[in-house]
Structure 1
Amino acid sequence: MTATQTPVVPDLAALQQRAAQRAAERAGGQDRLRGHIVCDGLVRIFKTEGVEVVALQGLDMVIDRGELVAIVGASGSGKSTLLNILSGLDTPTAGIARVADYDLLNLSAKRRLSYRRKKVGFVWQQTGRNLLPYLTAQENVELPMELAGGRRRRARRERARELLDLVGVGYCADRRPGQLSGGEQQRCAVAVAVANDPEVLFADEPTGELDEATGAEVFGALQTINAELGVTIVVVTHDHAVASQVRRTVAIRDGRTASEVRRTARIHEDGRTELVSEEYAVLDRTGRMQLPPAFVEALSLRDRVRLNLEPDHVEVRPGDQRRAEREAGA
């Protein structure tokens, strides 16, 4: 366990509490908060010219309603594949992938379209993919509402203005994307993604093309949406500054969930607040877990390890066969 002090902790704790309250209101009660996103034994296999590539190898993950979660992992770990499945852009090969009341393995084309229009929003890394260049920021936000129907023009206009103000770019309402900075475009994209009041927002490297300060503004917009609207948000990122500002970070390795970092605010008697981070290995339903690479390298663990069950913990030691034989002979 590691602990670091940071001045943003009170804001992080307050935002998390507010998001949980808003999520409870959206769900209609506290008893429906858990298991908003559920993956159980999720498998995705790609076949190309007779070659099979297993991108997800039985991934397990549960995200509660109203959470803001960061997913991290090296290139090829499977995190983008996971995001594409959860957002309805791809179909899993096997296992369970459920978002709200939608079974993503067995969606008809019509229901999948409804899911993507009404239940989820998406923000791409490339700013040019999020906005239509010939529409103003406000018109971009209004477009999803117009396609979904159900709102009058005046209501769409008012809703678009509210969302642009919420993410801090209300002054950009009448500008086209070419007149906006990268950060302004991404914040407008967040407003577009939640225009139809989705339950879940997915963001694929939303700060990947931005500098640190601008990226912080975009992530701040995501935090605001999470807190004020109670939207569950899943962010795939390589940005450590982003990953360290959420209460939960999930690491994926070789197509499986490998570890989680959970952060809690601890208030000392003298009024100091520090953010305490705890890293956990993820135990799947068959009892398997992945040791952190740093642990494996530090002890030169190879092939086999020795396990000793203690009253309150399990010891993991290098599997030195000769040493084991000596101890057995003694």
Structure 2
Amino acid sequence: MTATVPAPAAPDLATLQRRAAQRAAERAGGHDRLRGHIVCDGLVRIFKTDGVEVVALQGLDLVIDRGELVAIVGASGSGKSTLLNILSGLDAPTAGIARVAEYDLLAMSARRRLSYRRRMAGFVWQQTGRNLLPYLTALENVELPMRLAGRRSRRGRRERARELLDLVGVGHCADRRPAQLSGGEQQRCAVAVAVANDPEVLFADEPTGELDEATGAEVFAALRQINAELGVTVVVVTHDHAVATQVRRTVAIRDGRTASEVRRTARIGADGSTELVSEEYAVLDRAGRMQLPESFVDALALRDRVRLTLEPDHVEVRPGDRADAERSDA
């Protein structure tokens, strides 16, 4: 009788995060260069159309460390896609600071911007059809960026392409064209294409937006694998709250500013098991301003003014009308 060997358990989020940090340190040449891989300070983007100005980003602050996997969430029109387009080099900011590694995204020439997009940043679009050329196989699609950049020999490109397809779980699709792939397989191939030139940062704009929940989970698992094994910093813009809970850090954007963050830390229980504990933080800008989470505002019906009281170890926030009523009663 042949014994069945159980499949190895998938690594948990904490393990993947540790692995990603280690790979990122190796890429950076040491632990002292881990912080501030992506920095935005007072970032502003104004669009002008027919004499009308629309402020998409109004003083946004954000710091993402090297090797992090971060989800950026927000309602339509909040500015999250504008931010992603600026960081990926597809759009130019109006004012403020936007820096990725040594690249100043406000001061780049057209030539340096092109070099940045080719060598520094990988990008995955929401629409599966935009990520792959339909007349090339999956393997040829992954080889193409390396070929255009003049990297590796023909044999080296093919070997690297197969490694990347295997890494994202679609090695069996190497000889198929996009029309022969499912939506999830296309997006995982797109992830392999995006990191073919070994970029430092991978940006993904709603990569699971056109997929069902199960298929979306497979695509996001591919992003986590790339982050863990290659040490690539990954920034994902998403509406999918199920995806947002699969990362150690989620940044919420509201009205063109960073509003809050959820950080998930690994804690070891009494029985030795590891669990992720989530904590939500409001983001305080340089002027001392912050946005309260919408759920808090709605729960307490906060409107117009609020009453602030400084306590020894915290600040108390109460509805202004309630505070005024209590004072009148006294």
Q: TM-score, normalised by structure 1?
A: 0.95
Q: What is the count of residue pairs matched by the alignment?
A: 321
Give the C-alpha shift of residue 301 in structure 1.
1.3
How big is the alpha-carbon RMSD for the aligned residues of Structure 1 and Structure 2? 1.4
Structure 1: gaps of 5 or more residues: 1-7
Give the C-alpha shift of residue 265 in structure 1.
1.7
| 1:166-204 deviation digits (Å, cap 9, x = unpaired) | 111111111100010101000000000000000000000
Equivalent residue of 1:266, what SS?
strand
Q: Distance in 2 between matches of 1:114 and 1:31?
A: 26
1:228 aligns with 2:229: yes
Q: Distance in 2 between matches of 1:18 and 1:304?
A: 46
Q: Distance in 2 between matches of 1:250 and 1:153?
A: 41
Which of 306, 325, 328 is matched with 1:326 structurally? 328
Q: Distance in 1 between matches of 2:112 and 2:37?
A: 18
**Contact 1:9–1:273 at 8 Å: present in 2 too?**
no
Counterpart amino acid of 2:256? G
Which residue in the other structure is 1:3 paired with? Answer: none
Which residue in the other structure is 2:5 paired with? Answer: none
Which residue in the other structure is 2:249 paired with? Answer: 248
Equivalent residue of 2:114, what SS?
helix
Q: Distance in 1 between matches of 2:14 and 2:39?
A: 25
| 1:12-58 deviation digits (Å, cap 9, x = unpaired) | 01000000000000000000000000000000000110111100010
Which residue in the other structure is 1:214 paired with? Answer: 215
Change (3 A) 1:51 1:27: same
Equivalent residue of 2:228, what SS?
helix
Give the C-alpha shift of residue 275 in structure 1.
1.7
Q: Distance in 2 between matches of 1:226 and 1:295?
A: 33
Which residue in the other structure is 2:3 paired with? Answer: none
Which residue in the other structure is 1:135 paired with? Answer: 136
Which residue in the other structure is 2:4 paired with? Answer: none
**Contact 1:77–1:254 at 8 Å: present in 2 too?**
yes
Counterpart amino acid of 2:267? R
After alignment, is 317-326 or 130-139 more displaced? Answer: 317-326
Q: Distance in 2 between matches of 1:236 and 1:301?
A: 29
Equivalent residue of 1:128, what SS?
helix
Q: Distance in 2 between matches of 1:241 and 1:163?
A: 25
1:152 aligns with 2:136: no
Residues 1-330 of structure 1 aligned to structure 2 (within 5 Å): 11-320=12-321, 322-323=324-325, 326=328
Equivalent residue of 1:283, what SS?
coil
Q: Distance in 2 between matches of 1:152 and 1:322?
A: 75
Give the C-alpha shift of residue 324 in structure 1.
7.2
Counterpart amino acid of 2:26? E
**Contact 1:45–1:56 at 8 Å: present in 2 too?**
yes
**Contact 1:190–1:221 at 8 Å: present in 2 too?**
yes
Q: Distance in 1 between matches of 2:48 and 2:57?
A: 13
Give the C-alpha shift of residue 98 in structure 1.
0.3
Equivalent residue of 2:316, what SS?
strand
| 1:48-91 deviation digits (Å, cap 9, x = unpaired) | 10111100010000000000000000000000000000000000
Change (3 A) 1:153 1:273: same
| 1:80-107 deviation digits (Å, cap 9, x = unpaired) | 0000000000000000000011000111
Task: Provide the identity percentage.
Answer: 87
Give the C-alpha shift of residue 9 in structure 1.
9.9
Counterpart amino acid of 2:125? W
Counterpart amino acid of 1:100? A
| 1:258-278 deviation digits (Å, cap 9, x = unpaired) | 000000122211233322100
Equivalent residue of 1:19, what SS?
helix
Equivalent residue of 1:88, what SS?
coil
**Contact 1:85–1:91 at 8 Å: present in 2 too?**
yes
Which residue in the other structure is 1:5 paired with? Answer: none
Q: Distance in 2 between matches of 1:299 and 1:161?
A: 55
Higher relative contact order (CA 8 A, sep 6+): 1
After alignment, is 225-234 or 297-306 more displaced? Answer: 297-306
Q: Distance in 1 between matches of 2:117 and 2:201?
A: 10
**Contact 1:267–1:273 at 8 Å: present in 2 too?**
yes
Give the C-alpha shift of residue 323 in structure 1.
3.1
